[in-house]
């Protein structure tokens, strides 16, 4: 099973009898679909590996990806049966308004700020007119962003275009270059736009108007940013996937910048963007506290592993005894992992920090999934020889880190020290 991203689709990796990946056939840089189930609810496709462009945002790969996009848009539209697109064959007024309402109902209303719907709809009407005035004869990928570009053998391959339809080319460029978390620098964006237009002009008819295309681009950046904020609101506020809310400030920065570049064309959206910049800081985008409580123990293996009183079972028990033990030294024997001298010894030695890097990665994933699924309890326990130094230090580190990062309720218990604390 592969890790889920934004959608609820489930992927698993399969191997042939020899344990080899399939080799793709010649064509556009997309995975080959090998078979589809009779009920059309599952399919087998080519494995492109695990490397995402998002993790390798160097200019060469970005340029290769955006030049390849032009080919997918133009060549992918040739002899394409648009009736196969779902849920609509083309970007029309109805689908544009769906996305604008996504922003209004899933994000804007979730922030609890007061706003004027008539004034907002006036700006939406202006935006719809501009967007639908653009030529729409090419394939609109719809979710073209660096997490949907795989890198295999140094080349980009595209996935997750199931929402594709006929539409204007500017939308995909806006989606790619203004992706909130990618945070591509403005000067790099300009170079990539120039590369893209060079490729697009070579594929388009001679009457392709570069100046008109560029003039319309900021309106598509605005549209895509509003749609993305709607998605962040839905995934974060309603599905409780907190990491989507962490992207909100970056998306709001993009929103303010593009509205500023458009002057007074969308006056009410510009006003709202300034309000949102104040109310939607990273510390403010959390909704109600998570239902999850994490119990974190330090203990001595000599006295047994702590029982899980919640009845859930599971969780983690980590053995800290592979790391350097301060208890071997007389000067530390009356101290614990809460004392400054012991903390400095462990951190200067460094073994325990390396140990905790792996621990943190495991627990973070577990906490995120439990929060998404509405689970109420997770137990994490750290054991060492006496439950005095290393286990206490690790329990303190993990408890306070989880509380600061995720805002979850922490029940911290140093069993052998007789110390119990709640971090609310």
Strand partners, 140: 165
- For residue 281, the model assigns a pLDDT of 59
Measure the CA–CA gap between 400 and 159, rounded to whole angstroms: 38
Q: What confidence tens digit (pLDDT) does each residue in 179-211 have?
A: 988 889 999 999 999 999 999 999 987 778 999
Amino acid 308: pLDDT: 86
Distance, CA of 338 to CA of 389 (rounded, Å) = 8
Where does the pLDDT of residue 290 fall: very low under 50, low under 70, confident under 90, or very high at 90 and above?
A: low
Asked whether 221 and 174 are in contact (CB, 8 A), the reply is: yes
Q: Which of 31-45, 115-129, 333-347 has the lowest mean pLDDT?
A: 31-45
Q: Is the pLDDT of residue 372 over 80?
A: no
Q: 52-279 belongs to which homologous superfamily? A: Aminoglycoside phosphotransferase (APH), C-terminal lobe (3.90.1200.10)
Question: Is the predicted pLDDT of residue 311 greater than 80, yes or no?
Answer: no
Residue 351 · residue 300 · CB < 8 Å: no
CA atoms of 273 and 255, how far apart (whole Å): 7
Beta strand 316-319 pairing with 155-158: unpaired
Burial per residue of 266-303, b for 16 or more beta-carbon CB atoms within 10 angstroms, e otherwise:
bebbbbbbeebeeebeeeebeeeebebbbbbbbbbbee
Structure tokens at 7: 């959608």
Are 409 and 389 in contact by the 8 Å Cβ rule? The answer is no
pTM greater than 0.75: no
How confident is the prediction for the chain on average, in pLDDT? 88
Residue 183 CB coordination number (10 Å): 11
Residue 26 has pLDDT above 70, yes or no: no
pLDDT tops 80 at residue 19? no
Give residue 22's pLDDT band: very low, low, confident or very high (50, 70, 90): very low
412, exposed or middle or buried, with CB in 10 Å at 0-12, 13-18, 19+? buried
- For residues 152-160, average pLDDT: 92
Residue 304 CB coordination number (10 Å): 10
pLDDT higher than threshold 60 for residue 287: no
Q: Where are the domains of the chain?
A: 52-279, 293-423
């Amino acid at each position: 099973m592969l890790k889920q991203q934004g959608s609820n689709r489930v992927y698993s990796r399969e191997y042939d009898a020899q344990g080899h990946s399939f080799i793709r056939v010649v064509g556009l840089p997309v995975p080959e679909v090998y078979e589809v189930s009779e009920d059309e609810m599952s399919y087998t496709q080519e494995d492109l590996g695990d490397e995402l462009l998002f993790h390798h945002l160097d200019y060469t790969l970005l340029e290769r990806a955006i030049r390849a996009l032009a080919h997918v848009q133009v060549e992918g539209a040739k002899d394409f049966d648009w009736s196969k697109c779902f849920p609509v064959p083309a970007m029309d007024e109805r689908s544009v308004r769906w996305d604008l309402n996504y922003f209004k109902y899933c994000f804007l209303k979730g922030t609890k700020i007061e706003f004027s719907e008539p004034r907002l709809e006036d700006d939406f009407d202006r935006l719809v007119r501009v967007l639908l005035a653009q030529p729409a004869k090419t394939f609109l990928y719809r979710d073209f962003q660096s997490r949907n570009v795989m890198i295999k053998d140094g080349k980009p391959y595209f996935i997750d275009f199931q929402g594709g339809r006929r539409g204007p080319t500017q939308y995909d460029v806006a989606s790619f270059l203004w992706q909130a978390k990618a945070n591509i620098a403005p000067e790099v964006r300009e170079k990539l736009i120039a590369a893209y237009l060079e490729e697009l002009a070579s594929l388009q008819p001679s009457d392709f108007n570069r100046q008109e295309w560029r003039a319309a681009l900021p309106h598509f950046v605005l549209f895509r940013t509003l749609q993305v904020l709607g998605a962040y609101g839905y995934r974060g506020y309603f599905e409780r996937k907190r990491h989507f809310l962490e992207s909100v400030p970056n998306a709001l920065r993009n929103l303010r910048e593009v509205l500023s570049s458009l002057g007074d064309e969308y006056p009410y959206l510009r006003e709202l963007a300034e309000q949102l910049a104040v109310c939607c800081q990273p510390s403010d985008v959390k909704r109600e506290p998570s239902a999850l409580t994490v119990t974190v123990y330090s203990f001595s293996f000599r006295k047994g592993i702590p029982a899980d009183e919640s009845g859930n079972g599971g969780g983690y028990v980590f053995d800290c005894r592979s790391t350097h033990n301060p208890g071997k030294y007389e000067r530390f024997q009356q101290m614990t992992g809460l004392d400054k001298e012991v903390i400095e010894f462990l951190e200067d030695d460094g073994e325990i920090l390396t140990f905790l890097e792996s621990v943190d990665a495991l627990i973070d994933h577990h906490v995120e999934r439990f929060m998404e699924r509405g689970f109420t309890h997770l137990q994490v326990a750290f054991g060492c020889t006496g439950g005095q130094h290393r286990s206490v230090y690790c329990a303190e580190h993990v408890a306070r880190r989880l509380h600061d990062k995720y805002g979850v309720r922490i029940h911290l218990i140093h069993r052998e020290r007789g110390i119990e604390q709640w971090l609310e």
